[in-house]
Amino acid sequence: MTPGFWLILLLAASSRPEVKLLPPVGPPGEAGRALVVFHRQAKRLASEDVGSCLGRVCLVSGDAGKLIRLSEAGEVVELRPPGRYRMRLDRAGQLVGRSLVENLGAVGRGVYLAVIDSGIDWRHPDFIDEKGQTRVVWLLDQNLPRRGKYPELEELGGGAVFDARDLQDCLEGRSCAAPQAGLDAIGHGTHVAGIAASDDQVYRGVAPLASLVVVKAVNQNGTFDEDRVFRGLVFAHRVAEEAAAPLVVNLSLGSQLGAHDGTEPLEIALDELASLPGRAVAVAAGNERGKAQHFRTALEQSATVRFRLPQAIAAEQPYLVIDIWLVGAQGVQLQLLTPTDETVGPVGPDGPFGIMEDSEAGRVEIKAISVEDRLRFLVRISQEGPAALGGGVWQLCFSGRASRLDGWLAEAELGGGQAEFLDRVDETTLIGPPATARRAIAVGAYVSRNQWQDQLGVHWTIDEEVGQAAYFSSPGPTSDGRPKPELSAPGLMVASTLSQDADPQNPSSMFYLAGSRKLVAPDGRHALAAGTSMAAPFAAGAAALVLERHPQWTGEEVRRALFLNAQTDEFCSARGLYYTRWGFGKLSLPAAYEFFGFASASPDSAASLCGASLWWQMPGRVSLPGNEIYALAVLRDGEGRPLGPGHRVEFSTSWGWRAAGEDLGDGLYRAQLPSGVRRGSRYSVHCRADGLDLRLSAPVTVAAGYREAAYAGDEGCSSSGGGSFRWSGIFAWMVLMLISASSRYSWRKCSWSRTNRRSMG
């Protein structure tokens, strides 16, 4: 999609502020595609202007005039170009209790399990049943031209469609219409599918008899365009609907682009799907922890945030996109200071709303977009102009006021290099779209293996403790304060199916390590990998087992069965409720499978859980918008069974605040914690249910000021029975203070020159 194409749409929509029309942020691509969100069910609006739909979300193709006409329809809420997602990269099964539920007959029989990913090695024995029949019932390859056998399905999915008969003919040596179908040279999709549904006796998946629906949606550059993922979602829903089969969708992909509050079009589509009977969605939480990808602060008058680009950038067309969201913005403007001391901007909602300049350090584009009650800045730095993209320290210079300001390094191609924020770094709120969808099951990762033997007999050991949270697993909560991820599952290191086309000695393979076979299992048919990509299919397989038993449950009911029955242990203390990296605990297949509904009993003081959605708090006034932190409670009876809605819950703090709990209807109770607590202080949250004081309490620490980031020492659970202050938190605070002090000179360098500006409006 060319910049000019979307500039026409932006200008046309400027007179209709009630419609969110967002510009593209990635590299230039095909013009004329948009995801459209309607006020009501899109099936009632079927016309030549509307293409593939799921609920209120549709993918529309056409020229700028067609999209302008559609944006003028009174039913349109949002129209935006598709975004881009990246992959979320034997012993694990016993950690989640797989053998226990299989002994009960839980194998996923009759459930469709859709893997939208990089393809699949459908010839692998892991996906062929004991009778020699393929378990891949449908395969959509969006990289192959349409065959014409299933024209309606190919129109929906945007590629070649193959059924089980096509694949079986190939397996049995008859005429083969699908020799290259689903070819998985990366190996990611095959590995993910194996975790969810392999029927190998050693490397067994969670739902070994589930029927697989596979969508190869990956691009040539190894990423996933949002429109491809959406079409794959619509395709999977349609084939499951025609078979009258329950459906679970696994998305081991994601991005940091978006508001992180579940409002992206694809997330709305996921919520629409998961609201239906017999549908559920599992999504990888992300692998961004520890990479300084997010900053958070408040804006009182001015603020500067520095970020660093690597000095050596090997990509042919390098670029970086920063996505910035503000709540309670008043008179805010943004300008950028390059490493060569050139100033670009300012840009703001009062004009100019966009700017593009070629500096000595690269092309800079800044756009200001009003999105309902929030302000969004999109910053794109690229090498599309005459100058090479400059490494070094850049500065984002803000003026005005805002109660909350978040920024994410959302999209980049830097040839293997890593950009990072240097100021106000926050290691929470890193779980990104589409995992922030309200009804999706977002899954974090923990260590499932720390030693193994490779195909050559070499023994390997990594310095990780089995059971501990994976160092990379992205923490929550969402930017609107919802507790995400819901739970954690094995994600480092997980052994699963190895695609024969993902040669570990080929750099295109995800198992490539300088040509070694370090990650290949002794049998040569399986391999090890790490990432929340590997954790999500455990939850997808678990959802398939739950739907096998309760085929009419909605995705929300399946989600409830998994997160309310998550288990805690010595790594995430049994005293805990919700923790930003763990969610509500570790996936337990037996507990989720045996869950038939809420217990009818009184809450037990020791078994019930009390916590908070964040264990640190920004300083500020009471009810400061955008800084929602919630006290949380889950009630359980004496046997540990979850209790449902209808109980009276009250929350209080050690400094005297009290409030009635909001009953969310899914077994979770909450109340928003007030701001205004003394800066640098620490207090406890207490919970009371049906007149009974729960034994647990949750500690919350208030930041000393807006320049301090979230505390980086986030090991442990958010709830505790004690409340001792952790030395890791003190050390992190001291380090952050030093960083803050070292950046004060750079704040003085920010100027507000309006010279050399080319405005977009």
Locus of tokens 């559609």: 70
Residue where the block lists tokens 């929350």:
651
From 537, 563, 589, the end of a domain falls on 563
Q: Give the whole-angstrom CA distance, residue 695 versus residue 272.
A: 38
Distance CA(650)–CA(610), nearest Å, equals 11
pLDDT of residue 616: 81
Residue 752: what pLDDT? 47
Q: Which residues are within 8 A (CB) of 542 and not within 5 positions of it... i.e. 6 or more apart?
A: 96, 206, 207, 562, 587, 589, 592, 593
Considering the chain, what is the average pLDDT of its residues? 84
Q: Read off the DSSP letter of residue 469.
A: B
The dihedral sign for the CA sequence 345, 426, 580, 623: negative
Distance CA 114, CA 343 (A): 48
Question: Hey, what are 193's tokens?
Answer: 């599918």
Are residues 254 and 310 located together in one domain of the fold?
no
99 and 227 co-located in one domain: yes
Task: Tell whether 168 is covered by a domain.
Answer: yes
The dihedral sign for the CA sequence 496, 180, 540, 480: positive
Distances (CA, A) of 507 to 173, 187, 512, 515, 669: 31, 12, 6, 8, 49
468 located within any domain: yes
Strands of the 20-21 sheet, one edge to the other: 20-21, 76-80, 33-38, 57-61, 53-54
Q: Give the residues of the chain that fall short of pLDDT 70.
A: 1-31, 41-50, 64, 71, 73-74, 86-91, 573-576, 620-625, 706-761
Of 514, 545, 563, which residue is a domain's last? Answer: 563
Asked whether residue 49 is domain-assigned, the answer is no
First to last CA, the chain: 20
Output the domain CATH number for residue 270.
Answer: 3.40.50.200
What is the C-alpha separation between 700 and 92, in angstroms, rounded? 33
Which tokens sit at 325? 């969201």
CA distance 494 to 196: 12
Alpha-carbon dihedral of residues 707, 710, 712, 715, nearest 10 degrees? 160
pLDDT (0 to 100) of residue 125: 96
β-pair type (487-492, 441-447): parallel
pLDDT of the residue at 738: 35
Give the list of residues 6+ apart from residue 644 with CB closer than 8 angstroms, or none: 597, 598, 599, 667
The per-residue DSSP string of 294-313 comes to EEEEEESSEEEEEEEE-S--
Residues 268 and 299 in one domain: no
Task: Look at the alpha carbons of 668, 674, 675, 677 in this order and tell me if their dihedral is positive or negative.
Answer: negative
CATH number of the domain residue 356 falls in: 2.60.120.1290
In angstroms, rounded to a whole number, what is the distance separating the alpha carbons of residues 756 and 355? Answer: 10
Cα gap 378→393, rounded to integer Å: 18
Total-model pTM: 0.86
Q: Are residues 414 and 509 in the same domain?
A: no
Distance CA 520, CA 456 (A): 9
Q: Are residues 417 and 467 in the same domain?
A: no
Residue closest to 548 by CA, chosen among 538, 558, 560, 537: 558
DSSP states of 722-750: S-PPPHHHHHHHHHHHHHHHHTHHHHHH-
Q: Is 454 contained in some domain?
A: yes
**pLDDT at position 336:** 96
Give pLDDT, residue 80.
Answer: 76
The CATH number assigned to the domain holding 626 equals 2.60.40.10
> What separation in angstroms does the CA of 62 have from each of 32, 40, 53, 59, 244?
5, 22, 15, 10, 33
Do residues 632 and 703 both lie within one domain?
yes
Q: Residues 232, 234, 240, CA angle at the centre, nearest 5°? A: 100
Q: Packing angle between helix 265-274 and helix 226-242, nearest 10 degrees?
A: 20
- Are the C-beta atoms of 298 and 620 separated by less than 8 Å? yes
Q: Is the same domain home to 731 and 717?
A: no
Residues 706, 761: one domain? no
> Strand 247-251 relative to strand 112-117: parallel, antiparallel, unpaired?
parallel
Tokens 């003026």 found at: 399
Residue 110 DSSP class = T
List, for residues 646-678, the tens digit of each pLDDT value: 999 999 998 889 999 999 988 999 999 887 778
Quick one: which of 153, 143, 150, 163 has its CA closest to 211?
Answer: 163
- Interacting residues of 671 by C-beta distance below 8 A, sequence separation 6+: 630, 631, 651, 659, 660, 661, 662
Does residue 757 lie in a domain region?
A: yes
Q: Is residue 579 part of a domain?
A: no
In this structure, are 304 and 360 located in the same domain? yes
Pairing of strands 616-617, 692-702: parallel
Is 401 in the same domain as 312?
Answer: yes
Residue reference for tokens 């300012």: 346
Residue 165 confidence (pLDDT): 95
Q: What is the pLDDT of residue 706?
A: 63
Contact of 435 with 285, CB cutoff 8 Å: yes
Q: Name the residue range of residue 240's domain.
A: 86-288+435-563
Domain termination site, one of 518, 547, 563: 563
Dihedral sign from CA coordinates of 261, 475, 611, 547: positive
Distance of alpha carbon 322 from alpha carbon 42, whole angstroms: 32
What DSSP assignment string belongs to 346-404?
A: EE-TTS--EEEEEETTEEEEEEEEEETTEEEEEEEEES-SSSPPPPEEEEEEEEEEEEE
Q: Are residues 283 and 299 in the same domain?
A: no
- 704: in domain: yes
Structure tokens of 593? 């499978």
- Segments in 594-726 forming alpha helices (H): none
Helix (H), strand (E) at residue 225: strand 224-225
Query: Taking the mean position of all CA atoms in its chain, how far away is CA 99?
Result: 29
What is the distance between the alpha carbons of residues 355 and 71, in angstroms, rounded to a whole number? 24
Report the domain count for the chain: 3
Q: Is residue 592 part of a domain?
A: no
Token pair belonging to 267: 């997330």
711 Cβ contact partners less than 8 Å away, ≥ 6 residues apart? 615, 616, 701, 703, 729, 732, 733
Give, for 558, the enclosing helix (H) or strand (E): helix 555-563
Residue given tokens 């691009």 in the structure block: 219
Radius of gyration of the chain (CA): 25
Residues 340-369 as b/e (b if ≥16 CB within 10 A, e otherwise) read: eebbbbbbbbeebbbbbbbbebbbbbbbbb
- For residues 295 and 220, state if they share a domain: no
**What is the spatial distance between Cα 336 and Cα 348, in angstroms, rounded to a whole number?**
12
